[in-house]
Amino acid sequence: MKVYELNLDGLVGSTHHYAGLSPGNVASTSNALSVANPKAAALEGLNKMRLIHELGIQQALLPPHQRPNLHLLHQLGFGGSPAQQIASAKKTSLTLLSACYSASSMWTANAATVSPSQDTKNHRVHFTAANLVSHLHRHQEANFSQLLLKIVFANEEYFNHHLILPKTMVTSDEGAANHNRLCASHQDRGLHLFVYGKKGLTCNNPMATPKKFPARQTLEASQAIARSHQLDLNHVVFAQQNPAAIDEGVFHNDVIAVANESVLLLHEHAFINQPDVLHELSMKASFPLNIIEISNQQLTVANAVKSYFFNSQLMTVSGRNEKKSMILLAPKECEEDPAIQLLINDLINSDTNPIHRVHYLSLKQSMQNGGGPACLRLRVPLNEAEFSSMHKGVLINEALLKTLEAWVKTHYRSELHANDLADPHLINESFQALDELTSILKLGSIYPFQKETTD
Closest CA to 253 of 175, 190, 172: 175
- State the pLDDT at residue 289: 97
Q: Which burial class, exposed, middle or buried, applies to 88 when counting CB atoms under 10 A from its CB (0-12, 13-18, 19+)?
A: middle
Check which CATH number belongs to the domain holding 405 and give it.
3.75.10.20
Residue 86 located in a structural domain? no
- Three-state secondary structure along 311-342? HCEEEECCCCCCCCCEEEEEEHHHHCCHHHHH
Options 5, 174, 248, 261, the catalytic residue: 174
- State the pLDDT at residue 33: 75
* C-alpha to C-alpha distance for 106 and 381, rounded to whole angstroms: 20
Residue 320 located in a structural domain? yes
| DSSP letter string, 233-293 | GGGEEEEEB-HHHHTTT--SGGGTEEEETTEEEEETTSBTTHHHHHHHHHHH-SS--EEEE
User: In total, how many domains does the chain have?
Assistant: 1
Check the CA dihedral 176-179-185-189 and report its sign.
negative
Cβ count within 10 A of residue 25: 21
- State the pLDDT at residue 396: 98
Q: Given the DSSP bridges, would you call strands 179-183 and 190-196 parallel, antiparallel or unpaired?
A: antiparallel
- State the pLDDT at residue 323: 55
333 is catalytic: no
The secondary structure of the chain in percent helix, strand, coil, rounded to multiples of 5, reads 40, 20, 40
pLDDT averaged per 10 residues, the chain (length 455): 93 93 71 88 97 96 98 96 96 95 96 98 98 95 98 98 97 97 96 96 72 93 98 98 95 96 98 98 97 97 96 85 78 95 95 94 89 96 98 98 98 96 96 98 97 63
Q: Which residues pair with 127 in a beta bridge?
A: 114, 161
Residue 10 located in a structural domain? yes
Options 333, 375, 386, 411, the catalytic residue: 375
Residue 187 located in a structural domain? yes
Distance of CA 218 to the CA centre of its chain: 17
- State the pLDDT at residue 455: 47
203 is catalytic: no
Residue 59 located in a structural domain? yes
Query: What DSSP character marks residue 350?
Result: -
* C-alpha to C-alpha distance for 436 and 64, rounded to whole angstroms: 12
Number of H-type helices and E-type strands within the chain: 18, 15
Domain that residue 216 falls in: 3-67+102-454
- List pLDDT tens digits, range 219-256: 999 999 999 999 999 999 999 999 999 999 999 999 99
- State the pLDDT at residue 319: 56
* C-alpha to C-alpha distance for 363 and 358, rounded to whole angstroms: 15
CA distances from 78 to 65, 108, 418, 431 (A): 20, 29, 18, 19
Cβ count within 10 A of residue 24: 23
- State the pLDDT at residue 324: 58
* C-alpha to C-alpha distance for 170 and 217, rounded to whole angstroms: 9
Nearest 10 degrees: CA dihedral of 186, 260, 314, 325?
-60
- List pLDDT tens digits, range 330-344: 999 999 999 999 999
Residue 272 located in a structural domain? yes
Q: Are 187 and 382 in contact (CB under 8 A)?
A: no
Query: What DSSP character marks residue 419?
Result: G
Residue 342 located in a structural domain? yes
100 is catalytic: no
Options 53, 135, 179, 252, the catalytic residue: 252
Residue 87 located in a structural domain? no
Model confidence, pTM: 0.95
- State the pLDDT at residue 452: 76
